[in-house]
Amino acid sequence: MSRIAKKPITIPAKTEASFAKGVFTVKGPLGTLTKNFRDEIGFAIENGTITLTLVSDNLQARALWGTYASHIKNMLAGVNKAYEKKLVVEGIGYKADVKGKDLVLAVGFSHPVVVPIPEGLKVTVEKTTITVSGIDCEVVGQFAAVVRSQKKPEPYLGKGIHFIDEVIRRKQGKKAA
């Protein structure tokens, strides 16, 4: 049983939540998020709190119970304060630019790498720092992971794209005889 889902989730001020026909909708100051949920979990919205209950008590429903509670908490937090991920581009000649709806990376290849920016995300570049922000936690994290995967940091010189708080384990390299 999930400890997270047993506790009621409070709805913040200036935020509306509704559930109808398997679709959970959250409206807040920064925008609106919707997500489809299976009917194995019941939702009760009353007095500014959301309570999740098991409709059918099987293994899959119990596994989804806590997951759905976390998704709802992320949605409520996202429409009130935008999620943000920061990446650092390290390396000589490595740079990033935003051109229209694309992020253009020059990361040591013979050609620039163009990554399309998903709808609803705001991407800014300041010198060597890429900032990805948006109201949907999953979209922000996925886009940041896609950008990082274009040139993963290597352990010898530390060149590549990495998260700002990520620690790169460095290797010593060859020793002189």
pLDDT in tens, 158-174: 899 999 999 999 998 88
Cross-strand bridge partners of residue 41 = 54
The pLDDT, as a whole number, for residue 22 is: 87
Q: What is this structure's pTM?
A: 0.89
Weakest-pLDDT range from 47-61, 102-116, 124-138: 47-61
Query: Rounded mean pLDDT of the chain?
Result: 92
The pLDDT, as a whole number, for residue 63 is: 87
Q: Is the pLDDT of residue 97 over 80?
A: yes
Q: Which residues of 69-106 are buried (b: 16+ CB within 10 A; e: fewer)?
A: bebbebbbbbbbebbebebbbbbeebebeeeeeebebb
d(CA 108, CA 110): 7
The pLDDT, as a whole number, for residue 6 is: 85
Domains and CATH numbers, the chain: 3-78 (3.90.930.12), 83-163 (3.90.930.12)
